[in-house]
Structure 1
Amino acid sequence: MKMTMPEQNTAEATTQTAAAAKPKISAHGVSVFYGDKKAIDDVSIDVHTRYVTAFIGPSGCGKSTFLRSLNRMNDTIASARVEGEILLDGEDIYRSRMDVVQLRARVGMVFQKPNPFPKSIYENIAYGPRIHGLASSKAEMDRIVEESLQRAGLWEEVKDRLADSGTALSGGQQQRLCIARAIAVDPEVILMDEPCSALDPIATARIEELIDELRGRYAIVIVTHSMQQAARVSQRTAFFHMGKMVEYGKTSDIFTNPREERTKDYITGRYG
């Protein structure tokens, strides 16, 4: 029997709600070692689409190390070893048959320091889609480049100089270019490792606005030293201390009514 339009809309909304309720990434008992040193100890957390999840904590607490484990960036460090289980849509990303190149297309990363390729603005965006065969024609590639720059809030600023070098942009523009580059391969998750730490307040505000716009489409995880930034941009917050995840929950609860004394001490500035 064919559904009416209201019934169809209700069914679609139910499906979307169910998808949002199911974790995009689930980490279970994850520990990360650098040689004999344990940097992360037994962390379990769920990351959901349509949420920004912030990792906060003092320097050296392991939050960036854990972030890098979510798309196997720690594989690039010879002494690094990961124990436990990290699932992306229920699939173990550390299984031997996992295509790490495809994994990093699905789980993109934006680093602390903007790192555009020494190529044109256009080629910075086109590089990933070309590698992954996402465009079958020049017109299709043009569309991907334009859409990615538009989503990153950069199109109007650069549309007349796509042939210019990406390294010639300002710091804030370079970071938005890197975000555009990450989303050009149509990822499902975006990891951001202190994306605003090298930017001025105006550029930081632009990136924060962008994060808020993007969260409706992706699962976003951000490492930040700024508790104010975590409070502004995230819906979920995890507090790390000395390699352990001390507390995880709604951002409003973490900042106004933390369960753990260590969280309260950090939030109130007693240490960190």
Structure 2
Amino acid sequence: MPQTPKTPNFKMTARNVSVSYGTKLAINDVSIDVDQDEVTAFIGPSGCGKSTFLRTLNRMNDTVASARVTGDIKLDGQDIYSPDMDVVQLRARVGMVFQKPNPFPKSIYENVAYGPRIHGLAGTKADLDRIVEKSLRRAGLWDEVKDRLTDSGTALSGGQQQRLCIARAIAVDPEVILMDEPCSALDPIATAKIEELIHELRGRYAIVIVTHNMQQAARVSQKTAFFHLGTLVEYGNTSDIFTNPHEERTKDYITGRYG
């Protein structure tokens, strides 16, 4: 029997998004949908705009004085650039994991507890303990750190630090997790653990990952967007992008002719 096509369940939608830094146009007229139940990968050569576009999805570009964003980006149908949008709340709903692991110079416990505490998500110490344990379990780190929660987060290995940062992001119960090349500073074993984690988190959170590693995009994502020179060249099912791309530029990049 033919399979019934999956009904899209879009968590975020972007329409005609452009980003400028001063007079330099970094992203030009990008439209894309982020599905609740899928991992979306952004690929493309360095400087093509994929990380810039990722940062528009939780308004991280607001921290750059010269940045100007136009177009529409919606989270559950709500305009995230509306004056009514609480940016702190937005960044709790749309969490970010950066390229280089950046744990706070605090204990492992306090790294994870920080967000729930400032957002008032835990009424008691027991509530906070539960959130910390649940987040570390979801990040695949609990068994490795449960006996040393008072140790500094910065004392962990690079791969463990990145999983701690993922635990920190999910501790505030986000709806979307953005990952900006989360494995680029990690060795292959740590990278495999992060990829396994992405598989486990899929469906619980909408996930968007920027990666230079095309094999990684093929392994972890269901949708892939190929960026080049600030434009979105092609966006579709990962299997189609890698085996039967519509655009010549996509084919050239996938086959290593440039990039």
Q: TM-score category by the smaller chain?
A: over 0.9
For structure 1, the residue ranges without an aligned partner over 5 or more in a row are 1-16
Aligned ranges 1:156-235 → 2 under 5 Å: 156-235=143-222
CA offset at residue 216 of structure 1?
Answer: 2.0
Tell me the equivalent position of 1:91.
78
Tell me the equivalent position of 2:124.
137
Aligned ranges 1:66-77 → 2 under 5 Å: 66-77=53-64
Tell me the equivalent position of 1:24.
11
1:265 to 237, 249, 252: 252
Q: Given the two structures, how large is their TM-score scaled by the length of structure 2? A: 0.97
* Residue 100 of structure 2 corresponds to residue 113 of structure 1: yes
Q: Secondary structure at the match of 1:192?
A: strand
Q: Secondary structure at the match of 2:10?
A: coil
Residues of 1 paired with 2:170 and 2:252: CA distance? 37
Residues of 1 paired with 2:162 and 2:80: CA distance? 27
Residues of 1 paired with 2:183 and 2:37: CA distance? 21
Identity %: 83
CA contact (8 A) 2:9 2:37 kept: no
Tell me the equivalent position of 1:12.
none
Q: Secondary structure at the match of 1:27?
A: strand
String of CA shifts for 1:33-64, please: whole Å, max 9, x gaps: 00011100000000011200000000000000
Q: Secondary structure at the match of 1:24?
A: strand
Residues of 2 paired with 1:130 and 1:270: CA distance? 49
Residues of 2 paired with 1:104 and 1:57: CA distance? 25
CA offset at residue 205 of structure 1?
Answer: 0.2
Q: Secondary structure at the match of 1:130?
A: helix
2:237 to 240, 250, 257: 250
> Could you say which structure has the higher helix fraction?
1
Residues of 2 paired with 1:87 and 1:50: CA distance? 17
Residues of 1 paired with 2:130 and 2:49: CA distance? 39
How many residue pairs end up in the alignment? 254
CA offset at residue 22 of structure 1?
Answer: 2.8
Q: Secondary structure at the match of 1:160?
A: coil
* Residue 31 of structure 2 corresponds to residue 44 of structure 1: yes
* Residue 56 of structure 2 corresponds to residue 65 of structure 1: no
String of CA shifts for 1:172-199, please: whole Å, max 9, x gaps: 0000000000000000000000000000
1:152 to 129, 135, 139: 139
Q: Given the two structures, how large is their TM-score scaled by the length of structure 1? A: 0.93
Instruction: Supply the RMSD in Å over aligned alpha carbons.
Output: 0.7
Residues of 2 paired with 1:117 and 1:167: CA distance? 7
Tell me the equivalent position of 2:111.
124
Q: Secondary structure at the match of 2:27?
A: strand
Q: Secondary structure at the match of 1:220?
A: strand
Q: Which amino acid aligns with 2:164?
A: L
Residues of 2 paired with 1:33 and 1:64: CA distance? 13
Q: Which amino acid aligns with 1:23?
A: F
CA contact (8 A) 2:26 2:49 kept: yes
